[in-house]
Chains A and B, each alone.
Chain A
Amino acid sequence: MRNLIDITDLSVEEIDQLIATAEDIIANPAKYSRVCAGKQLATLFFEPSTRTRLSFESAMLSLGGSVLGFSEAGSSSTSKGETVGDTVHTVSCYADIIAMRHPKEGAPYAAAQVAEVPIINAGDGGHNHPTQTLTDLLTIHREKGRLDNFTVGFCGDLKFGRTVHSLVNALSRYENINFVFISPLELKLPRYVKEEALKKKGIPYAQTTDLESVIPQLDILYMTRV
């Protein structure tokens, strides 16, 4: 059984395939309107979310499936002290797949150790957000027609920006991507992301606090809130 905890759980070939499928869904939605009929998605959102939760629920309903779940920890047994593992173990009995948002980093990894159905990480603290990355890759692909040979700028809170960490990891696997990280010194990209995604692969990157000076060299600018 597979999970999507980190974007690198998917190979580059699988990501390319997903993007091609997404493009086809956009072009031919009726073709996919029953592909998840009879399947249930549980959305376990231990912290509030508008876009991610509704995206998951809308997607499952559009594919002919159904959804159940909760949208804040207060309305689940977490408020009574239940652990993530216990919650997920129980929900595994009701659903075919679980999408999970949690404020604690690594909670989806913990869930995946005990779940009997696949876990999708829908954001864990300031750590990762792999499904946002799939959306970002689709956007880049639709706008530029490719996912390689870019200079990409990332600007904002790069320390706690989970979407940044996942997107850097994803893009680092494509050919000839240069990275420029623009942030206040206190919010620089974490060392583990630079080391695992960039340094080990010898991928060039630059860090600066000055957005204006680097804008001319960028093909794509990814902005996050500070």
Chain B
Amino acid sequence: MNIDSIQNGVVLDHIQAGKSMDIYRYLHLDKLDCSVAIIKNARSAHLERKDIIKIDSPLELDLDVLGYIDPNITVNIIRDGKLVEKKHLELPKRLTNVIHCKNPRCITVSEPQLDAIFLLSDRENRRYRCAYCETEFHK
């Protein structure tokens, strides 16, 4: 299967197989009017299978969101058809308005206009806690 190379845009590589649609939704890629290619289950030397997203527009991505979903993703920036930058992600220490607290007693549930802030409490186990009530986030 051939997908055309992009001239100016972003390639998200090494996405864990099956996660590309999560990223598509979290990054609101459906709102873009440029070409977006989602490649699922591509063969990979590092991962047995991986997903790839190619975005044919030089947009600024929310790297915190990407890092939260999968810190192993590589962000490749393409200019004039050439790779000019390769960004490696890490779990963000703070997430704002990415995930929301499910504790019914939390102030952010009764006042949803507040920023939903989560802080990384355990990097090894990828645990985040609500900055307001300290409840751990579970998907």
Contacts and interface: CB of A to CB of B under 8 A. Distances in A.
Given A83-B113, A104-B110, A106-B107, A127 B136 contact: no
B85 interface: no
B114 interface: yes
Interface string A70-98: 00000000000001110000000000000
A105 B132 contact: yes
Interface residues of A, number: 19
Nearest to A5: B132
B111 interface: yes
B5 interface: no
B134 interface: yes
Contacts of A109: 107, 131-132
B122 interface: yes
A51 to B, nearest CB: 22
Given A192-B129, A195-B122, A104 B106 contact: yes
Contacts of B107: 84, 102, 104-107, 109-110, 124
B105 A105 contact: yes
Contacts of A104: 105-107, 109-111
Contacts of B121: 192, 195-196
Contacts of A127: 105, 133-134
A106 B122 contact: no
A84 B107 CA distance: 9
Interface string A117-128: 000000011110
Contacts of B106: 104-106
B135 interface: yes
Given A195-B121, A195-B122, 5 more contacts: A105-B106, A106-B108, A110-B107, A110-B132, A196-B121
10 contacts: A83-B111, A85-B114, A102-B107, A105-B132, A106-B131, A110-B108, A127-B105, A192-B129, A196-B121, A196-B134
